[in-house]
Amino acid sequence: MKYEKLIARRFLQRDKSNFSRPLVNIATYTIALGVTVMIMAISILRGFQSEITNKVIGFGGHINIRSYAYVNDYDEALVAMSPQLQQQVAALPLVAHIQPTASKGGMLKTDSQIQGILLKGVDRSFDTSFFAASMVRGRFPDFTDSNAKNEVIISQHLAQKMQLDTGDKARTYFWVGNNYRARALHIVGIYNTDLTEFDDHYIIGNISQIRAINRWDTTAATTYEVLINNFSQLDQALAEVKNNTPPDLAVTSVVEEQPSMFAWLQLLNSNIVLILTIMAIVCSASIVSALLIMIFEKTSMIGLLKTLGATNRSIRRIFIRKAAAIVGKGLLVGNAIALAICLIQQHFHVIRLDSESYSMSYVPIDANPLIFIIVSVGTFLIANGALLLPATYISHIDPAKTTRQE
């Protein structure tokens, strides 16, 4: 065993008479707290971004193929896509699924309330996973039953406002030209996404209902939603879909259709950078202070080691080993605390939020192991890099003066 390691180990032994002991403990707790804060900040912000993104995608898909005449969801511009073209897009490597949808603006009326709505029609190919996870009670409409084309689900917010529940009939009115057509829709499920912008208006039902109201044929659709495997590859997938569709079709991504929403989510990354910078500075300052105190306290020992022939480099290794051990202990404690908080919040949703303000009822957590690794490695490298500055003080210690003082 090298003597640097042996001496560093003796440093690690608890000695209550050491003046540096309390400062070492403070440095350890500071690093642990800093790591916990950094991991939690990233996990929460990433979880928030992921949650909002998934909700927006759940209502509209990653990529949408429409007619150029389309302006918003209340327009009824039909898009023409042959079965061959649909199969061609579905076969692209980054594409997971493609599904036809149509929308129809209208009104929902009860004895005491009137509410503008948007009926989104889907068919049996629709990916129901998002709404299945958001169901409060009831079930998703059964599109395999031709007699159940009036079945719909509405949001919990809309149900409470209109005093409706599962099993009730929703009286709706849709304009067609200069006239309107009434439909009594059967509510079979209540969903809740806490995304008020969508929950206030969207009713999900059978696309055949919209086709019947507008007297379209059985294959008509206003949008083909494309779902991809990985959101991080959205731009690449968008380019692939554009390259495989005719130029007379408009192909847009969810980011292009909701620019303000995603610009706001992107802005949250600056908060992550700010938090990481502040905590890295705090952790570095704490461990540097602890190392300086240890060096000042062991000045006579440093002089003795130099007298015995030790080099400045080898003595620096002793103190850096000691400081690295403090950093390592802080990292372990910080990771353990952060992991415990993440798991508790993920499973029990202890910390709640006002859904009206945050579009979710609890603090979301993205407990990605990569976050723990990056924060730990980054903190270790930054803290140990900061140690090089105080360690250079060792070279200015004169063994003759320290020996004479002893």
pLDDT tens per residue, range 263-304: 988 888 888 888 888 988 888 888 888 888 887 777 777 777
Q: What is the mean pLDDT of the chain?
A: 88
Confidence (pTM) = 0.84
Judge residue 261's burial from the number of C-beta atoms within 10 Å of its C-beta, 0-12 exposed, 13-18 middle, 19 or more buried: middle
Answer yes or no: is pLDDT of 8 > 80. no
Q: Which of 170, 153, 175 is nearest to 106 (CA)?
A: 175
At 388 the pLDDT is 79
Answer yes or no: is pLDDT of 383 > 80. yes
Give Dmax over CA atoms of the chain in angstroms: 105
At 246 the pLDDT is 95
Residue reference for tokens 């699924």: 97
Answer yes or no: is pLDDT of 7 > 80. no
Cα 379 to Cα 50, 272, 330, distances in angstroms: 25, 15, 10
The confidence band for 312, taking pLDDT boundaries of 50, 70 and 90, is confident
Lowest-pLDDT range, 5-19, 53-67, 275-289, 387-401?
Answer: 5-19
Higher pLDDT, 102 or 405: 102
CA atoms of 187 and 165, how far apart (whole Å): 7
Query: Mean pLDDT, to the nearest integer, of 36-56?
Result: 94
The confidence band for 19, taking pLDDT boundaries of 50, 70 and 90, is low
The confidence band for 18, taking pLDDT boundaries of 50, 70 and 90, is low
Whether 231 contacts 62, CB under 8 Å: yes
Please count the other Cβ atoms lying within 10 Å of the Cβ belonging to residue 128: 16
Q: Which of 398, 209, 390, 253 is nearest to 316 (CA)?
A: 390
| CA Rg value for the chain | 31
pLDDT winner (highest mean) among 24-33, 198-207, 397-406: 198-207
Cα 152–Cα 50–Cα 92 angle in degrees, nearest 5? 75
At 401 the pLDDT is 61
Answer yes or no: is pLDDT of 1 > 60. no
Answer yes or no: is pLDDT of 322 > 90. no
The confidence band for 395, taking pLDDT boundaries of 50, 70 and 90, is low
Supply 196's token pair. Answer: 């008020």
At 87 the pLDDT is 96
Share of the chain above pLDDT 90, in %: 61
CA atoms of 72 and 252, how far apart (whole Å): 13
- pLDDT, one tens digit per residue, over 221-238 is 999 999 999 999 999 999
At 103 the pLDDT is 92
Share of the chain above pLDDT 70, in %: 93
Q: Which of 169, 209, 207 is nearest to 187 (CA)?
A: 169
- pLDDT, one tens digit per residue, over 85-139 is 999 999 999 999 999 999 999 999 998 899 999 999 999 999 999 999 999 999 9
Residues 6+ apart with CB under 8 A from 286: 26, 27, 30, 31
Whether 257 contacts 115, CB under 8 Å: no
Q: Which of 369, 231, 300, 281 is nearest to 34 (CA)?
A: 281
Cα 390 to Cα 78, 114, 198, 318, distances in angstroms: 70, 71, 57, 13
- pLDDT, one tens digit per residue, over 146-167 is 777 899 999 999 999 999 999 9
Beta strands at 114-122 and 202-206: parallel, antiparallel or unpaired: parallel
Query: Mean pLDDT, to the nearest integer, of 246-252?
Result: 95
At 291 the pLDDT is 81
Q: Which of 258, 280, 268 is nearest to 375 (CA)?
A: 280
| Structure letter (DSSP) for residue 126 | S
Query: Mean pLDDT, to the nearest integer, of 189-196?
Result: 94
At 170 the pLDDT is 93
Higher pLDDT, 265 or 251: 251
